[in-house]
Amino acid sequence: MFIQTQDTGDDAKLRFLPGRAVLGEGERTFASAEAAGQSSPLAAQIFAVGEVAEVVLGPEHVDVRIVEGADWSSLKPGVLGALMAHFMSGAPVLAEAPPPAPEEELDEATAEIVADVKELLATRIAPAVEPDGGRASYHSFKDGVLFLELGGSAKSLLGAIGNMLRHYIPEIVAVRDSFDAIARPGLETPTAEAIQRLLDEQINPAVASHGGFISLIDVQEDIAYIELGGGCQGCGMADVTLKQGVEKTILETIPGITAVRDVTDHASGDNPYYSPGAK
Amino acid sequence: MARLLLLIPTASYRTHDFIAAADRLGVEVVVGSDQASVLASVNGGATVEVDFDDAETSAARIAALGAFDAVVPVDGGGVAVAAAAAARLGLAQNTPDAVASARNKYSFRQKMAAAGLPCPDFRLVPLDADPGQVAREVAFPCVLKPLSLAMSRGVIRADGHNSFVQAFHRVADIIARPDANTPGLAADHLLVESYVEGREYAVEGLIHDGRLELLAVFDKPDPLDGPYFEETIYVAPADISKARREAIQHTAAAAATALGLVAGPTHIDLRVGPDETVTILEVDARSIGGRCGRSLRFGEGLRLEDVILRQAAGLPIPSFAQAGAGGVMMIPIPASGSLRGVTGVRAAEAVDLIAEVSITIPVGDDVEMLPEGSRYLGFVIAHGESPAAVVAALREAYAHLKFDIA
């Protein structure tokens, strides 16, 4: 992941450009760790660095103001690390997902399932995904559907993780990314449905030949957000697949969409192509 | 709207940067690559499959797609196809002969010598020659080189008879490897040159309106004395006198002209000797490779790919002046084996002035040191106010990186 920084003309404030959508549109300002803790995991993580006075989340940037007398030379690495950790974790920028139900409110049978899930995550799944930078933790369990918080390479292993958990715990009907628990009304519009049909009927059958798949993550205004998975994640030709294939096809086919943005964490994918290159 | 054909090998490091630059420019793009796009069936001709080892067949396929304003090879793999396609399309680009000479070190040396440019003694040697006999006929120190490999792969300095014989066999073995893919004369010959003393630089240039615009002069602050020539840090602008810079520009321009290059980017390696003589080592009809281009910014923030595509599309280039200082460390492979892990990336990224740390070889892949190897472990990019600050940041960042190779 490549995070750029930009001066703002104000010595106390620095702009960070993570090279991907932050809010997509609009701005949200957080003036304290308490305010951030209620609404934004990303802002809360930045406040946790210390000596941060304000965090502004923008469409594709994060502005951070430090308290008077603080020194950027000691804080900048911490903010970069917080941004990196957040985006690699796959956690949402805004905490729109309902918090997991407190365990004490679970009935006895469900509590036992959740305890088994956590044990399997710790003993079987974490050792398998962590060496490659992946992370998988329990989020919530409802009506047989288990939601996991997935980060890094673990996102592309959801299917295998789900198979293992269902094998050991038959009560689990489905395993999903906790991101799916976030309300995304943009996906329930006719435009989103048309994009999904295009992905299902034309695009994904083609990219499946390379072991890849493309997911529609959200539609906000006239922008479609997609994620490349499987063999597409980290592929050196992913930009060609996106710009010359996916975007071109969507823009030509779906009225009202003017841009397609890739939110894939390509850094944690295996590039199937990289090989010699002259300097 | 301009229409460009970008030639992008699937192994290129530069796909993202060129596609993003084309997007910023808003030009129409068709991408040619050595594997068919997975979406070729639905993208309406936005991609075309080419064979980078068969320039004429690929050129015919490109010409059948209609008119283009330029055919742009994003790196070395596509220059021959670009030249052949441009010839068919009647575009004022580098000719197949010119780019072929740039890609063959013997042919290149002949052209430099014919143009009267400073040139080391050089000799083409068949691989079935007796290296002991050849060693008795050359002066030391000398350098043995494959004719067509890049990245200093297979380039070895020899200081005496025994080291020459050992180097000869080693270079021959490298040339014979299937992944070397050496065509024609390069398959069964190597080049022996007298060693050129001096400080090494690289020129990033753009041949524009018939003249060489100097985009950047990179200094190479780490010694390149051999026996292998592993490049690490490039930093620009080089902290050199005006006279040295002018001498570099003059000789680089003369070399590009001697080779017959007429348009587009060029990357030139050279040495400046103790007597200030500028000796050209190589001229390529392409821009700097890997992710090194990310170290450069021009004018108000133009990237190298913006400059290249603007020229190709016939659009004005606001500025050729480098903005600030920039540098790159090509991370060397310290040992051969299997890459088992990398640590320290986040600490390296947190170093002031560091813009990017990218490890481009996946964990689990086999890695191989020079002179047999042909890859870097990755790239560290830095931007700053001065070349010295950039170099210091690159060294500090690199010190954080630890590679587990076994």
A235 Cβ contact list (under 8 Å, min separation 6): A210, A212, A228, A241, A266, A269, A271, A272, A273
Residue A109: which region, alpha, beta or left (left: phi > 0; alpha: psi -120 to 50)?
alpha
pLDDT score at A276? 41
Q: pLDDT tens digit string along B220-247?
A: 999 999 999 999 999 999 999 999 999 9
A19: how many CB neighbours lie within 10 A of its CB? 11
The answer to whether B194 and B123 are in contact (CB under 8 A) is no
In chain A, which residue's Cα lies nearest the Cα of B381?
A2
Within 8 A of B15 by CB-CB distance, chain A residues are 236-240
3-state secondary structure B46-61: CEEECCCCCHHHHHHH
Torsion over CA of B192, B196, B201 and B205, rounded to 10 degrees?
A: -60
Chain A residues with a Cβ under 8 Å from any Cβ in chain B: 2-4, 73, 76-77, 80-81, 84, 131-132, 202-203, 206-207, 209-210, 212, 236-241, 243-246, 248-249, 252, 267, 270-271, 273-279
pLDDT score at A101? 47
For an interface test with A, the pick among B4, B14, B15, B295 (most A C-beta atoms closer than 10 Å) comes out as: B15
In chain B, which residue's Cα lies nearest the Cα of A268?
B362
Picking from A206, A237, A243, the nearest residue to B41 by CB comes out as A206
Picking from B12, B38, B286, the nearest residue to A206 by CB comes out as B38
Q: Report CB contact under 8 Å: A245, B46.
A: yes
Parts of chain B with a pLDDT under 70: none
Residue B322 pairs in a beta bridge with B298
Amino acid at B255: A
pLDDT score at A267? 56
Within 8 A of B356 by CB-CB distance, chain A residues are 2
Query: SS3 of B300, please?
Result: coil
Tell me the shortest Cα–Cα distance from B120 to chain A, in angstroms.
23
Structure tokens at B186: 């390069």
Tell me the shortest Cα–Cα distance from B356 to chain A, in angstroms.
6
pLDDT score at A275? 43
Picking from A2, A131, A249, the nearest residue to B43 by CB comes out as A249
Query: Which residue has 């060294």 as its token pair?
Result: B395
Amino acid at A97: A
Picking from B29, B39, B330, the nearest residue to A206 by CB comes out as B39
Query: Which residue has 């075309």 as its token pair?
Result: B48
Query: Could you tell me how many CB contacts below 8 A there are between chain A and chain B?
Result: 129
Residue B39: which region, alpha, beta or left (left: phi > 0; alpha: psi -120 to 50)?
alpha
Residue B146 pairs in a beta bridge with B190
Q: How open is the CA angle B185-B170-B133, to the nearest 5 degrees?
A: 75
Length of chain A: 279
Q: Report CB contact under 8 Å: A276, B151.
A: yes
Whether residue A92 is preceded by a cis peptide bond, meaning omega within 30 degrees of 0, is: no
Q: Report CB contact under 8 Å: B15, A278.
A: no
* pLDDT per residue rounded down to tens, chain A (279 residues): 567 778 787 888 888 888 778 887 778 888 877 777 767 888 888 887 778 888 999 888 899 988 877 778 767 777 877 787 777 666 778 875 545 545 557 788 888 999 999 999 999 888 887 766 677 888 888 888 898 888 766 777 888 898 899 999 999 988 888 777 666 778 889 999 999 999 999 888 888 877 788 888 888 888 888 888 776 666 778 888 888 888 989 998 999 899 888 877 665 554 444 444 455
The answer to whether A177 and A90 are in contact (CB under 8 A) is yes
Q: How far apart are CA A56 and CA A70, in angstroms?
A: 18
Picking from B44, B289, B358, the nearest residue to A248 by CB comes out as B44
Structure tokens at B379: 């790239």
Amino acid at A83: L
The answer to whether A51 and A66 are in contact (CB under 8 A) is yes
pLDDT score at A95? 72
